[in-house]
Amino acid sequence: AQKITQTQPGMFVQEKEAVTLDCTYDTSDQSYGLFWYKQPSSGEMIFLIYQGSYDEQNATEGRYSLNFQKARKSANLVISASQLGDSAMYFCAMREGRRNQGGKLIFGQGTELSVKP
C-alpha cells in the first residue's frame, strides 16, 4: 500500500536561508508521481512542484527544488532564500499511475515551516 511519511512536524528557518523538508514514500508501483503543496493559514492548497518516477532530472520551480532519490524513496523539498511568506504547512503527496491519469493523492502528515525575520 502507498505511504507517505514526513517526520518533521515543525521547522524553523532564518529568512534568506535555505531549508529542506523531508519526505519518504513507499509504493510497489513503478509509475508514480510525487507532489509538494503549500497550505497557508487560509487553507488553500497551493501546488509547488511535481516529480514523476521516470523523470531523470530533479524538478525545479523557481526557489523550489525537489531532491529525488529513487533508490532511497525520498523526495525532499528544498526552498532556497526563504521568505516570510513561506511560513505555512507543507505537504508531500504521492499519486500512483502515469502522469496523465489524474489519480487520487495520498498525503503525508505535513511540516509546519516558520520563517524567522
Residues that bind other proteins (CB under 8 A): 33, 35, 37, 42-45, 47, 50, 52, 91, 95, 99-110
Compute the least distance from the CB of residue 49 to other proteins, in Å.
11
- Looking at beta carbons only, is 16 or 23 nearer to other proteins? 23
- Residue 107 CA to residue 116 CA, distance in Å, equals 26
- Looking at beta carbons only, is 14 or 114 nearer to other proteins? 114
Bridge partners of residue 89, in order along the sequence = 39, 112
* Sign of the torsion angle spanned by Cα atoms 46, 108, 87, 51: negative
- Looking at beta carbons only, is 15 or 58 nearer to other proteins? 58
